[in-house]
Amino acid sequence: MNNLKFIVLILLTTFLMGSSFTVGKMGLAYSSPLLLAGLRFTFAGLLVAVIVYVLKRPHPSGRGNWIKMFAIGTMQTAGVMGCIFLSLQTITASESAILTFTNPLLVVAFGTVFLKTRYKLYQWLGVLLGLIGVSITMGVQMEFRIGILFGVLSAVFWAASTLLVTAWGVVFDTWVLSAYQMLFGGVLLLLSSFVIEQSFFHVNMNSLVILLWLSIMSSIVQFASWYYLLQKGDPGKTSAFLFLAPFFGVLSGWALLDEMLSFSIVVGGLFIISGIYLVNRNVHQKKNLREGNVKKVVGN
């Protein structure tokens, strides 16, 4: 994947991720959280499933591969998104975003333990700088609420699903994986809604526009792009760019909810950029080394 394509996909994906917190918060005025999340991903999953079937995209063979997609859907859609929407009931969208997007640190930690991936000290420092930048950007002051626990769990589920996609995703067609993990997760969220909460959804123009945006842009486009990036790059370094998502969340909050842009956003943004550079520093070094070796061979 060339650098320009990677940058465009990263910016698109993180923007959609970040703005979904603001749009999701708006949607809770019209729906119970798990029902809204369930409708979002069931609709998105069904739509993409029909498309991949009509286009005859390669579907997995064997029960084991379908179980793997179900596991990814349970973690990524039901686990992550269910916890996010539940957290938004008792904490702000900014707080939820901060907690959810600590998952890159968990990806590096889990990758080190379970996949034996080795990261350098300055990469760990980069992750920590990114976390500090997110906190500064959001200007958050937290006291314990149940939403904080759900926010932490969303980060854990996301880190786990990232490693699952990295380990298993290469055998799946990107669009097929996106379709069925969303569908499986969406159905689980719908079932959870009917069991756990008092479900309601007020049908009007605002609620339908919010649902369609969350389903198409923040689900279909977002997940397809995200899985493609995970399959083509290192999970820890790719996930580091998720620090941009809460930054975009602030910008979308300013545009949609008239939230003020503050000096902390600028300072936090500098920390985020510094963290991203450190986490990805060895990528540029390896690339330059390869290019140097090629030049030597050609010169000889």
> With pLDDT > 70 as the criterion, what percentage of the chain qualifies?
86
Band the pLDDT of 282: cuts 50, 70, 90: low
Determine if the pTM surpasses 0.85: no
CA-based nearest residue to 223, from 172, 279, 148, 188:
172
Average pLDDT over residues 252-280: 75
The predicted pLDDT at position 6 comes to: 85
d(CA 228, CA 109): 22
Higher pLDDT, residue 280 or 30: 30
Q: Is the pLDDT of residue 202 over 90?
A: yes
Token pair for 248 = 């975009």
Q: Is the pLDDT of residue 274 over 90?
A: no
In the chain, what are the helix, strand and coil shares in percent, each to the nearest 5? 80, 0, 15
State the total domains in the chain: 1
- For residue 91, give its domain range: 3-299
CA-based nearest residue to 250, from 105, 76, 97:
97
Q: Is the pLDDT of residue 297 over 50?
A: no
Average pLDDT over residues 177-191: 95
pLDDT tens digit sequence for 37-88: 999 999 999 999 999 999 999 999 889 999 999 999 999 999 999 999 999 9
CA-based nearest residue to 234, from 285, 270, 282:
282
